[in-house]
């Protein structure tokens, strides 16, 4: 009987970081009704930020917020907060993630989940001490319907033996050398990884979930714009890596056959706005996808004879059903909503509907850290560097 249904579980969130991504989360919460049958409902009860702009944004749009603070420790001490979304500059990741876990909160942390391998290890140690807390790393691109289809194809072994994988994320947001410096271009705030910490996890999420593990890497890193204007009108050094190209020897599953996997992360990619792409070439099937053509999935099956690339027009056929008809378009904020649906589902104890419909795990973030650390070593030594744990 309908009247016997359990009330929907509500999860009270505290948001730490009221910038770009903190607001994207708030927007996803505001349109939670878009999901057809969510197993839980998020509620923002507390926010923490430093800049007036971000806090004012929440004040105006979220009247009645229980807690607005500049000190994240106050938010962690709030017993109403059950889960924390950490959307902060990278140098703060370890400190704030650890505080959240030690305070007994579930945690969705923005990538790269720690500024460097050491910071990641600190977060992991806290997570190990609190195994009943859910910890996930934000990366939403896997939830694009065409990428979900690639994931399903991987699950059913449709590609055959993997010949080659190419994945990347290309921006032109730093092409303009007169763009003022911000925290993302400062080594002390963004980290030594530079663009790898910024964009890398987004490209690694699908290959890692597929079990394509980098054994070693030869990386070429480029600092193209070496100084930028600052807010005071002067010029300051800009030492972060703008672009990174990683050629990995990857293995398909533990001890499996090797194949080349190329990962490209670029902040200075002329002509590209926000291009996330993935290409998988296999002996039985191949797939190509890029957000430049967001609906199009290119697909080729090879059974002998002609090789014919086909084109599938994907729509809004999402892992977590929504009220939008399947023929309509899917976009960035839809992917963010899907990612949060996955997180809330897991919190409500629902196993992800598919292997590729879950958020990035602590272990997957850890592998990305080992890869980026090896990439730094490879670049400086101009040689191939092993990826710890990749063998």
Ligand X SMILES: NC(=O)c1ccc[n+]([C@@H]2O[C@H](COP(=O)([O-])OP(=O)(O)OC[C@H]3O[C@@H](n4cnc5c(N)ncnc54)[C@H](O)[C@@H]3O)[C@@H](O)[C@H]2O)c1
**Residues binding ligand X (CB under 6 A):** 16-21, 48-51, 54, 72, 87-90, 92, 110-111, 138, 140, 198
d(CA 177, CA 228): 6
Asked if 83 contacts 340 with a C-beta cutoff of 8 angstroms, the reply is: no
Least distance (Å) from ligand X to the CB of residue 340? 11
Residues 6+ apart with CB under 8 A from 234: none
Q: How far is the CB of 214 from ligand X (least distance, A)?
A: 21
Q: What does the alpha-carbon distance between residue 246 and residue 218 come to, in Å, rounded to a whole number?
A: 6
For residue 113, the minimal CB distance to ligand X (Å) is 8
State the DSSP string of 187-204: HHHH-TTTHIIIIIHHHH
**Cβ proximity to ligand X, 92 vs 217, nearer residue:** 92
Long-range pairs, 219-225, Cβ under 8 A, ≥24: 219/244, 219/245, 219/246, 219/247, 219/374, 219/375, 219/376, 219/378, 219/379, 219/385, 220/244, 220/245, 220/379, 221/194, 221/196, 221/375, 221/376, 221/379, 223/194, 224/268, 225/174, 225/177, 225/268
- Minimum CB separation of residue 140 from ligand X in Å reads 6
Q: Cβ-closest residue to ligand X?
A: 19
Q: From CA 157, how far away is CA 210, in angstroms rounded?
A: 10
Least CB distance from residue 37 to ligand X, whole Å?
25
Beta bridge partners of 42: 11
50 or 179: CB nearest ligand X: 50
Residue closer to ligand X (CB basis): 251 or 344? 344
324 or 333, CB closer to ligand X?
333
Torsion angle, alpha carbons of 84, 85, 88, 90, to 10: 90
When the beta carbons of 49 and 390 are compared against ligand X, the nearer one is 49
Between residues 246 and 336, which has the closer beta carbon with respect to ligand X? Answer: 336
Nearest distance, CB of residue 191 and ligand X, angstroms: 10
Which residue's CB is nearer to ligand X, number 18 or number 217? 18
**Shortest Å distance, C-beta 254 to ligand X:** 29
């Amino acid at each position: 009987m309908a009247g016997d249904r359990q009330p929907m579980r509500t999860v009270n969130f505290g948001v730490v970081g009221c910038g770009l991504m903190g607001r994207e989360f708030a927007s996803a919460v505001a349109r939670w009704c878009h999901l057809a049958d969510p197993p839980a409902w998020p509620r923002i009860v507390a926010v923490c930020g430093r800049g007036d702009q971000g806090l004012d944004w929440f004040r105006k749009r979220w009247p009645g917020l229980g807690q607005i603070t500049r000190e994240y420790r106050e938010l962690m001490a709030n017993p109403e907060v059950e889960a924390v979304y950490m959307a902060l500059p990278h140098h703060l990741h370890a400190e704030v993630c650890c505080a959240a876990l030690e305070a007994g909160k579930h945690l969705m942390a923005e990538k790269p989940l720690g500024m460097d391998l050491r910071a990641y290890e600190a977060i992991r140690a806290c997570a190990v001490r609190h195994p009943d807390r859910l910890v996930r790393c934000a990366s939403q691109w896997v939830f694009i319907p065409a990428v979900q289809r690639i994931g399903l194809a991987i699950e059913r072994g449709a590609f055959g033996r993997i010949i080659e994988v190419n994945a990347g994320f290309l921006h032109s947001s730093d092409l303009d050398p007169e763009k003022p410096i911000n925290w993302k271009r400062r080594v002390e705030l963004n980290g030594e990884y530079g663009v790898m910490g910024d964009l890398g996890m987004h490209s690694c999420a699908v290959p890692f979930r597929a079990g394509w593990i980098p054994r070693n890497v030869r990386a070429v890193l480029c600092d193209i714009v070496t100084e930028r204007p600052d807010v005071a009108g002067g010029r300051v050094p800009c030492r972060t890596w703008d672009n990174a190209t990683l050629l990995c020897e990857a293995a398909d599953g533990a001890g499996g056959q090797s194949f080349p996997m190329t990962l490209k992360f670029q902040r200075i990619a002329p002509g590209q706005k926000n291009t996330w792409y993935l290409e998988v070439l296999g002996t039985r099937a191949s797939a190509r996808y890029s957000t430049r053509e967001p609906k199009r999935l290119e697909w080729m099956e090879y059974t002998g004879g002609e090789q014919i690339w086909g084109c599938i027009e994907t729509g809004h056929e999402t892992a977590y059903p929504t009220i939008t008809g399947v023929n309509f378009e899917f976009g960035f904020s839809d992917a963010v909503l899907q990612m949060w649906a996955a997180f809330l589902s897991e919190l409500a104890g629902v196993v992800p509907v598919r292997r590729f419909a879950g958020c990035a795990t602590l272990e997957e973030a850890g592998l990305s850290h080992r890869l980026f650390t090896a990439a730094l070593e490879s670049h400086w030594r101009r040689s191939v560097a092993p990826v710890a744990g990749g063998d």
